[in-house]
Amino acid sequence: MSKICIVSSHSPYSSTSVRDGIESLLVAASFDMDASLLVLGDGILQLLNKQAPESLPQKNTGSLLQALEIYGVESIYVCEQDLVDRGLTQDDLILTPTIISRSQVPSLLQEQDSILNF
């Protein structure tokens, strides 16, 4: 099974990058690929559990991410340093992503057959 990682490093509502990334992830999963999501930098804000973007109006990225499991995407990675930098903990996040250190990122990417940046 081909491994694909979507790297998402933008905050949720300033552009369509995040939604484009999530949609690509869903398509990859529907293609029977081993699809994972690596959230970097401000991308961590997509996972906040108290988002209320209704007045923007935009779709809640947290809710979109919650749908990933239904599509068979179970691997979501975040960097511990990105949480620390923003004063966040696991309790602030929707889902339970795998928390890795910055130094583990290269090997995670190394295992992939393909990577798409959003």
**What does the binding site for other proteins look like in residue numbers (CB under 8 A)?**
2, 4, 15-17, 20, 23-24, 27-28, 31, 33, 113-118
Minimum CB distance to other proteins, residue 102 (Å): 20
In a 13 Å sphere around the CA of 2, the CA atoms on its Cβ side amount to 10
State how far the Cα of 83 lies from the Cα of 39, in Å rounded to an integer: 11
Asked if residues 64 and 95 have their Cβ atoms less than 8 Å apart, the reply is no
In the complex with other proteins, the residue whose CB is nearer, 31 or 84, is 31
In the complex with other proteins, the residue whose CB is nearer, 98 or 117, is 117
Minimum CB distance to other proteins, residue 74 (Å): 18
In the complex with other proteins, the residue whose CB is nearer, 35 or 93, is 35
Tell how strand 114-117 and strand 3-8 pair up: parallel
Minimum CB distance to other proteins, residue 68 (Å): 15
Q: Which residues pair with 100 in a beta bridge?
A: 79
